[in-house]
Structure 1
Amino acid sequence: MSMQDPFAFFITWPTYGTWLPGNDRGWVEYHHGWQLPNRNLESMCTTQMKEKQCLLNPGDREIVVAQVTETCQMRDWTMHAVDCRSNHAHIVVSATKTAPKKIRKDIKAWCTRRLKERSNPHRTNWWAERGSIRYIWNEDSLARVVMYVTEAQDRKGLER
């Protein structure tokens, strides 16, 4: 790895309809960054949804974790951590010569295929359009992110 290459990527994406533009937690507008809550915008986005929001049950989350693991193995990517919650998923992965957006796109696509096969063939929208990609530049940062993904959310008392 050269000096400019990141050590790993911390990739997060929400399920469909669970973090809409205008959300009261704030939200990220593509190419414009963090935005303040806007109830009118969130309400408008809710009315434009093509199906109900997607909340993953424990079986769905197991499917996602298994598929992320399989996809990383097949692509020869190093998966450092994976966690799937009811309304989002996290992965920490190293992949030389692969753009992080491609990693996210491929994993979301394979997870969608498996969820449609094994959980609900009628659902069309499983995931939000994009997600977050953070670059990890050293081993200390990698260790902190892996701990966050594997342990910290449970300590915050968030629903699993």
Structure 2
Amino acid sequence: MLIYILMAALSAEPCVSGPRVGQRPGPYSFVMSTGSERGKSQCYICETADRPMAVVFARSLSEPLAKLAAKLDKAVADYKKNELRSWLTLLAEDQSKQDEAILGWVKKHRIKAIPVGVFEDVEGPPSYRLHREADVTVLLAVKQKVVVNVAFRVGELTDAKIEEIVTGLSKILPTSK
């Protein structure tokens, strides 16, 4: 019985995943499934430099993730002048095995401005130290510093949490569009 209580208590702890606030998000390359770079390895961290960025790591394609991606997709369009960048990195062993599912998911949810690709290791980029229980990790950064870091286990990414992430964009963007 004590073991179950301890397990429940531990699962209630916030999931900590990825570079901490104030740290620099390290470069990593992943294989693109969408966009003009489809099939190629890409390092968006390298290209983004000091611009504001919303980076999403996910272990599975879900409806809550689609809602988050749609909100970030809209934000990228709304803040084009401010050069907001965002992308979604799925963590999986083999991009080619995920490609069809990703393309269907992107089409179904009308994701247009956010590139989606696969980092071909379920652990994620080694320097990121993504938590194994984190189904979704979101990093908001600007000037090569993480400003917001949130992570969610399966089932924890709710509409309210998505709104908190979208509101958090104000920490990396100018006040006007």
With normalisation by structure 2, the TM-score equals 0.23
With normalisation by structure 1, the TM-score equals 0.25
